[in-house]
Structure 1
Amino acid sequence: MYRLPIFLATVLFVSSVSATRYGLSEDIVGSKFLDAFTFQTIADPTHGRVNYVNQTQALQSGIARVTTDSFVMGADSKTTLDPAGPGRDSVRIISKKTYQEVVLVIGLRHMPEGCATWPAIRTKQAAAPNTGIVDILEGVNNQPFDQVTLHTSGGTEIFFYARTSQSDIFSGCTVPANRSESGTAISNDCDAGCSVGLYNSSSFGPEFNKVGGGWYVMQRTSTHVSVWLWHRENPFVPLDVRFALPHVDTSKWGKPAAFFPNDTCDMAGFLTDHNILINLTLCGDWAGNAATYASSGCPSTCIDHVNTDPKSFAGAFFDFEALRVYLPEE
């Protein structure tokens, strides 16, 4: 078997783990979302009161729509539901391509808001369990902050205080309590979900929408996962992000909002090829948890609210300016 000389192998290894410059691979804007993603019509894995519809149904009903510079997807806001019938129509899309080392720049003008909502943007593998999950954006019921979470075990969407499968493979991955991030660590056990709360940045729901949205950015390498957030009005948004330049340099972006270093385990061994998953569920295991829902100041019960008050979901939609995929440069 041919073996690389030690010096050359070392150079290649250092280059692969320390890359900070990335080139634009995909510029997904407007109708390109329809080509880049598949609309899933599965039963909701988190037991939400939703009915995921296909692309044709979503476009015909208006819960998905495109313009030259926008892709919108969300929940139905017109129909009163039969309690014994299907849930409220909503959209769940997953990318056709998979990624490992990557920078994702997610330009959002608006994210879903309102009682019972549980929006998420995450990466995970569509086809195989126990391949990890990165929750870039996730929260429920108008909470004012995003919760960024890394799961190194588990193959289903799970929220930070529950593990849903006895067959999960436990990685033993943890992250240091003190690390270079602007967010606040909630949990450092990545099997259960190591989470970071972005408490001071209008990072979720109505507060995010009030400032005109902004950019969520994830960098995944073999040594760490980082997430940044910049609001649209922030004068310090990196120019390569704001102006969608063909190259980005993460070394110039400053401290990330959430940072998960590969200090205690082979993180790359638990995070394989990931698809990008974007969905809006309603109620479910987290948003619909009785204590969580009640503490949010929301009316009635979660299920009753979804069934009987369609107008309250008028703001339950994503409006994407773009999703840009950058890959490491040689």
Structure 2
Amino acid sequence: MSSSTFGALLCSVILSFSTTLVNAGHYSLTQDYSGAKFFEGFNFSTIPDPTQGFVTYIDQSAANSTGLAGMLTVNGSETGAVYLGVDSTTKLSTSGPGRNSHRAQTNQTWNHALVIADISHTPGGICGTWPAFWMLGTSSEWPNAGEIDIIEGVNSQNFNAMTLHTNAGVEVQNNTNLFKGTLTTSDCNVADPNQPTNQGCNIADSPNADSFGKVFNANGGGVFATEWTSDFIKIWFFNRTHIPANVLSSSPSPSSSWGTPNALFQPANNTIDSHFSDLQLIFDTTMCGQWAGQAWTTDAECSKLAPTCDQYVAENPAAFKDAYWAINSLKVFQDQGAPAYGSGNGTQGR
């Protein structure tokens, strides 16, 4: 080999190696669901609520025509934010059917992603409600393909509950210095006999994180970012005054300036890829059911309003006027070189 040929080959190898280093961890926009594009990329499921909530999920046409879904309007002007609400005018019988609401889920699925949602208002902190923004595997048998709960809470709860749900084999480490929240359960297996049924592994944000409930809404919300890789699942919350510049510019760089995440799920046995696949994004607001209903009697604020959650939800429609999502933007990014999409469409899940 001549010296010139060897030199050219060496330069090629160095360039290739350098490019790999530059591209590693570099996220590119894959899907943008902001504004009207939300209603093109999401479908509204009408399945019976898998959690036995006092709710009736209606389709997109019905939601649009009754004002339960559309673009948020303030003082007669559209804000550009997506609005997802629940019926707040109809008195119901406690025997059902439940209150009209939504379960909106993406047509597309992913394997590894960085999901960034700018949300200015949630249904959280209202007695009877159980809102969630989450990712669900499309396997017909829950939770074989995994579940990631990014925003979730019930009744008057004033902190965000971030949770993974899997079958057996995923237990996360309590790396307390590496995330801000508090690990309450470490086994992601929903059938762990030593944890409440369907609990999964949960990290509770602190109430002063302002990431859920009435304070979140009063502050104008903020940005949630969820990074899902083969090694970990991280969730950050940034309030309005602390959103990183690279998030605002749609050039996200989690390792550069984001700081400590609110939650870090990092299994010691490296089992994420074998338990999470083909996840779709979901926004829903259910009522009562397996969590909000069961927690009703232990919620000091809510339990004094009615003997049961179902009765309160049925008889007090005006209480749910503010039980809505306002989604300023929703974007999905992926690492360069990673597979862009999953393969399945939505299934029932939990």
Partner of residue 245 from structure 2, selected from 216, 239, 249: 239
Which residue of structure 2 lines up, in the alignment, with residue 201 of structure 1?
209
Opposite residue 225 of structure 2, the aligned amino acid is V
Contact 2:156 2:299 in 1 (8 A): no
1:125-274 → structure 2 map (5 Å cutoff): 125-129=137-141, 130-153=144-167, 170-171=168-169, 173-179=170-176, 180-192=178-190, 193-199=200-206, 200-232=208-240, 234=241, 236-241=242-247, 243=248, 245-252=249-256, 253-274=258-279
User: How far has the Cα of 1:282 moved from its partner?
Assistant: 0.3
Structure 1 segments unaligned to the other structure (5+ residues): 1-7, 154-169
User: How far has the Cα of 1:151 moved from its partner?
Assistant: 1.5
Opposite residue 297 of structure 1, the aligned amino acid is E
Contact 1:31 1:68 in 2 (8 A): no
Contact 1:116 1:282 in 2 (8 A): yes
State the TM-score, normalized to the length of structure 1: 0.85
User: How far has the Cα of 1:20 moved from its partner?
Assistant: 2.5
Contact 1:141 1:293 in 2 (8 A): no
Opposite residue 66 of structure 2, the aligned amino acid is S
Contact 1:21 1:250 in 2 (8 A): no
Secondary structure at the counterpart of residue 248 of structure 1: coil
Partner of residue 30 from structure 1, selected from 25, 35, 39: 35
Which residue of structure 2 lines up, in the alignment, with residue 3 of structure 1?
none
Opposite residue 257 of structure 1, the aligned amino acid is N
1: CA distance, partners of 2:49 / 2:297: 19
Q: Following TM superposition, where does structure 1 have runs of at least 4 consecutive aligned residues deviating by more than 3 angstroms?
A: 291-294
2: CA distance, partners of 1:204 / 1:224: 23
User: How far has the Cα of 1:137 moved from its partner?
Assistant: 0.6
User: How far has the Cα of 1:287 moved from its partner?
Assistant: 0.3
Which residue of structure 2 lines up, in the alignment, with residue 99 of structure 1?
110
Q: Greater CA deviation, 18-27 or 28-37?
A: 18-27
Secondary structure at the counterpart of residue 270 of structure 1: coil
Opposite residue 105 of structure 1, the aligned amino acid is I
Which protein shows a greater Rg?
2
Structure 2 segments unaligned to the other structure (5+ residues): 1-12, 72-77, 191-199, 338-350
Secondary structure at the counterpart of residue 207 of structure 1: helix
User: How far has the Cα of 1:329 moved from its partner?
Assistant: 2.0
Change (3 A) 1:205 1:20: same
Partner of residue 130 from structure 2, selected from 105, 109, 118: 118
1: CA distance, partners of 2:210 / 2:277: 31
1: CA distance, partners of 2:150 / 2:172: 17
User: How far has the Cα of 1:249 moved from its partner?
Assistant: 0.9
Which residue of structure 2 lines up, in the alignment, with residue 167 of structure 1?
none
2: CA distance, partners of 1:187 / 1:84: 35
Q: Greater CA deviation, 120-129 or 31-40?
A: 120-129
Number of paired residues?
A: 296
RMSD: 2.0
Secondary structure at the counterpart of residue 62 of structure 2: helix
2: CA distance, partners of 1:65 / 1:49: 23
2: CA distance, partners of 1:312 / 1:68: 24
State, as a whole percentage, how many aligned pairs show the same letter. 34
2: CA distance, partners of 1:239 / 1:317: 28
Which residue of structure 1 lines up, in the alignment, with residue 341 of structure 2?
none
User: How far has the Cα of 1:19 moved from its partner?
Assistant: 4.0
Q: Do structure 1's residue 314 and structure 2's residue 321 form an aligned pair?
A: yes
1: CA distance, partners of 2:52 / 2:96: 14
State the TM-score, normalized to the length of structure 2: 0.80
Q: Deviations over 1:278-325 (max 9, x none)?
A: 100000100001x44442411102011111000000111000001011
Q: Do structure 1's residue 52 and structure 2's residue 57 form an aligned pair?
A: yes
Q: Do structure 1's residue 69 and structure 2's residue 73 form an aligned pair?
A: no
User: How far has the Cα of 1:85 moved from its partner?
Assistant: 3.4
Secondary structure at the counterpart of residue 209 of structure 2: coil
